[in-house]
Amino acid sequence: MTQRVYSGLALTGPSLECRPADVVVERGRIVSIEERRRAPARWICPSFFNAHTHLGDTIAMDTAGGGDLASLVAAPDGLKHRLLGAAGDADCIAGMRESALRTIRGGTGGFVDFREGGARGVGLLRGAVSGLSCRAVILGRDGGEDAADGAGIASTRDIPGYRDVAERVRQRGGFVAFHAGERDADDVDDALDCRPDLVVHMTHATDAQLRRCADEAIPIAVCPRSNWRLGVATNSAHPPIARMLELGCRVLLGTDNAMFVPPDMAGELAFASVVYGIEPAALLHAGIDGAAVTGTPTWLEPGAVASFFVVDPSQAGLSFSRDLVASLVRRLDAGAIETNVFNQ
Ligand SMILES: [Zn+2]
């Protein structure tokens, strides 16, 4: 059986311990990680996992005009939904595929998408990503939940039957996620009461709500750039990422609406690092761990699915880095990535 060996400084295991190594891959899995004293000048990092996207609104990218959260993204009359409603299927598919390709080029091996448009919308995204190397976890709404991997439920205040939807999807073993706490804390407890697999945003969550997430092992996907762009965050207290980590929450990172924020995890990491001052290793962990939350961990360890990227630091002005993890978080761009090895 053909083996491929990737040599360099590898960030191994969930602790992202940096060691010079040969990462040996066979049939899409890591079979061993062997110490190699004189490793070449390459960095090997587990693939990013974008824990929250709406790739469907790529077709409305950087549309002109301001507005608040409701006028821009609320269903059914917000700008986003009017533009999505007016778009043809072919454009919608082409837009999502372009965004998925950008995602892959940037070192992201998978994502969780909240897909609008019911079962038809789910089918369009499946078509858009077919044949691509990324893992797409698609969460439907408006009747699309059963055609998808689960439910991506908007704020409980906007979805009258959210409890039934969550229960039905859970019964069949699907994945349940909610938007919660984006504008204020009022919709968070109702979402947590449904025992979701993931909550998105928690921008204005209280300490008690964060403690619940920690105690009940409910992961949180934060989307800092989206929060700032949509005016629901204006300082480092929102989302309370530092507090989440302090209280023991499992924090993930997502880029949210492709119409406002590009689906590149490196950009999200760099922004979060500057604005929130979180230790780089914790942020990098948050940028990868979504793969584990959705069922397929991609930490570099024997037996794991091989899903990582290789950076050539000399091609990206990174040769003089004194801290590989900090430089990955603060300075990575797609041009630095020499190889993506994405298996599912
Ligand atoms: Zn969202």
pLDDT score for 66: 66
3-state per-residue secondary structure call for 41-100: CCEEEECEEEEEEEHHHHHHCCCCCCCCHHHHHCCCCCHHHHHHHHCCHHHHHHHHHHHH
How far, in Å, from the CA of 74 to the mean position of ligand 1? 10
How far, in Å, from the CA of 154 to the mean position of ligand 1? 8
How far, in Å, from the CA of 257 to the mean position of ligand 1? 6
Helix (H) or strand (E) holding 166: helix 162-171
How far, in Å, from the CA of 54 to the mean position of ligand 1? 6
How far, in Å, from the CA of 84 to the mean position of ligand 1? 15
pLDDT score for 65: 62
How far, in Å, from the CA of 6 to the mean position of ligand 1? 36
Are 265 and 253 in contact, with CB atoms under 8 Å apart? yes
Are 148 and 122 in contact, with CB atoms under 8 Å apart? yes
How far, in Å, from the CA of 251 to the mean position of ligand 1? 16
Angle between helices 265-276 and 324-331 (to 10 degrees): 100
Q: 182 to each of 2, 202, 220, 341, how far by Cα in Å?
A: 48, 6, 12, 34
pLDDT score for 211: 98
How far, in Å, from the CA of 222 to the mean position of ligand 1? 10
Residue 317 has which token pair? Answer: 């002005």
How far, in Å, from the CA of 176 to the mean position of ligand 1? 14
Distance CA 272, CA 255 (A): 11
pLDDT score for 243: 98
- Helix%, strand%, coil% for the chain, nearest 5: 35, 25, 40
Distance CA 97, CA 178 (A): 24
How far, in Å, from the CA of 290 to the mean position of ligand 1? 15
Q: End-to-end alpha-carbon separation of the chain, Å? A: 19
How far, in Å, from the CA of 177 to the mean position of ligand 1? 10
Residue of 340, 325, 248 whose CA lies nearest to 287: 325
pLDDT score for 49: 98
How far, in Å, from the CA of 195 to the mean position of ligand 1? 19
How far, in Å, from the CA of 76 to the mean position of ligand 1? 15
pLDDT score for 162: 96
What are the residue ranges spanned by the domains of the chain?
3-47+298-342, 49-293
How far, in Å, from the CA of 57 to the mean position of ligand 1? 11
315 alpha-carbon distance from chain centroid: 26
How far, in Å, from the CA of 52 to the mean position of ligand 1? 6
Question: pTM value?
Answer: 0.96
Distance CA 41, CA 25 (A): 19
Q: What is the mean pLDDT of each run of 10 residues along the chain (344 residues)?
A: 94 97 98 94 98 94 75 77 84 96 97 96 97 96 96 94 96 97 97 98 98 98 97 96 98 96 97 97 98 97 98 94 97 93 94
How far, in Å, from the CA of 220 to the mean position of ligand 1? 12
How far, in Å, from the CA of 7 to the mean position of ligand 1? 38
How far, in Å, from the CA of 212 to the mean position of ligand 1? 21
How far, in Å, from the CA of 186 to the mean position of ligand 1? 17
How far, in Å, from the CA of 2 to the mean position of ligand 1? 41
Residue found under tokens 């077919």: 130
Q: 99 to each of 89, 106, 133, 269, how far by Cα in Å?
A: 15, 11, 13, 18
CATH among 2.30.40.10, 1.10.600.10, 3.40.50.300, 3.30.420.40 for 3-47+298-342: 2.30.40.10
Helix (H, G, I), strand (E, B) or coil at 270: helix
Q: CA angle at residue 273 from 252 to 46, to 5 degrees?
A: 50
How far, in Å, from the CA of 11 to the mean position of ligand 1? 30
The alpha carbon torsion through 236, 240, 241, 242 (nearest 10 deg) reads: 80
How far, in Å, from the CA of 180 to the mean position of ligand 1? 9
Side chain identity at 272, as an amino acid letter? A
How far, in Å, from the CA of 300 to the mean position of ligand 1? 29
What Rg do the C-alpha atoms of the chain give, in angstroms?
19
Q: Hey, do 3-47+298-342 and 49-293 end up sharing a CATH topology, with the first three levels equal?
A: no
Superfamily, domain 49-293? Metal-dependent hydrolases (3.20.20.140)
